[in-house]
């Protein structure tokens, strides 16, 4: 369950405050996969950062029952470090011991299919390789909530199918919040939808209702 208590988020601009969220009070269910809709610049990625705890409201609070992933798809990796070094650093942040780190690194290298590039700096990766690496790192950890920001369109058809199977397995033990412009993917993955517009979050009881609201904008 995710609860917003009088949440306001804005950014200062030369023209004054630009509000992303304003006085939001609502509760999102803890047993639904949620699609996040909104026009470009409406605040979808900001919402993901707030939920992940890497950004904070200017006023109010967000309470989440369970542990939350970082916003998958919004890369914060260090380009001069190798794939292995980046992955090991994240393992240490999450308090993994040596045996767990070895297990995670083996999983990430295998799943990402990077081969020798796993030992090379991320700045040498193509955009597709970085996406595969990011997805593999994300799926190596177990969370109660996964925050997905345009991450599912990864690799070729075969790799995409592997990603979908991994999502389906995770959905049995976790919930997802998806930001994507792929309407078909949102319909496949999500139960309900939320729509961000003019500083408000509108909750729709079905993903189809949220899609209709988005299309009518």
Look at residue 186 and tell me whether its pLDDT is greater than 90: no
According to the model, what pLDDT value does residue 72 have? 73
148 in the same domain as 133: no
Of 35-39, 120-124, 140-144, give the range with the top mean pLDDT.
120-124
152 in the same domain as 128: no
Share of residues in the chain with pLDDT > 90 (%) = 42
48 in the same domain as 35: yes
* E strand intervals along the chain: 2-13, 16-28, 34-37, 59-64, 68-72, 145-149, 175-179, 192-197, 200-204
215 in the same domain as 157: yes
Domain that holds residue 128: 79-142
Residue with structure tokens 């070094």? 85
Q: Please, which pLDDT band fits residue 141 given cuts at 50, 70 and 90?
A: confident
Domain count, the chain: 2
According to the model, what pLDDT value does residue 153 have? 55
151 in the same domain as 98: no
Higher pLDDT, 212 or 157: 212
61 in the same domain as 25: yes
For the chain, report the end-to-end CA distance as a whole number of angstroms: 28
Indicate which CATH number applies to the domain containing 199.
3.40.50.300
Per the prediction, the chain carries an average pLDDT of 87
156 in the same domain as 204: yes
174 in the same domain as 134: no
Q: Are 126 and 134 in contact (CB under 8 A)?
A: no
Q: Which of 114, 142, 170 lies at the terminal end of a domain, its last residue?
A: 142
Q: Please, which pLDDT band fits residue 151 given cuts at 50, 70 and 90?
A: low
61 in the same domain as 87: no
According to the model, what pLDDT value does residue 82 have? 95
């Amino acid at each position: 369950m995710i609860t917003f208590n009088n949440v306001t988020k804005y950014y200062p601009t030369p023209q004054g405050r630009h509000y992303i969220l304003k006085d939001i009070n609502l509760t999102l269910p803890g047993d639904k996969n949620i699609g996040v809709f909104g026009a470009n610049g409406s605040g979808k990625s900001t919402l993901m950062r707030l939920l992940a705890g890497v950004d904070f409201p200017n006023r109010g609070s967000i309470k989440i029952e369970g542990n939350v992933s970082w916003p998958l798809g919004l890369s914060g990796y260090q380009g001069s470090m190798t794939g292995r070094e980046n992955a090991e650093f994240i393992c240490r942040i999450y308090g993994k011991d040596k045996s767990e780190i070895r297990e995670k690194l083996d999983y990430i290298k295998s799943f990402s299919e990077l081969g020798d590039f796993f030992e090379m700096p991320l700045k040498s990766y193509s955009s597709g390789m970085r996406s595969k690496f990011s997805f593999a790192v994300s799926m190596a950890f177990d969370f109660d909530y996964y925050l997905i920001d345009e991450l599912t369109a990864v690799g070729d058809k075969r790799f995409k199918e592997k990603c979908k199977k991994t999502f389906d397995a995770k959905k049995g033990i976790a919930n997802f919040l998806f930001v994507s412009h792929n309407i078909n993917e949102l319909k496949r993955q999500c139960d309900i939808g939320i729509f961000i517009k003019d500083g408000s979050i509108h909750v729709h009881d079905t993903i189809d209702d949220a899609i209709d609201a988005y299309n009518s904008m």
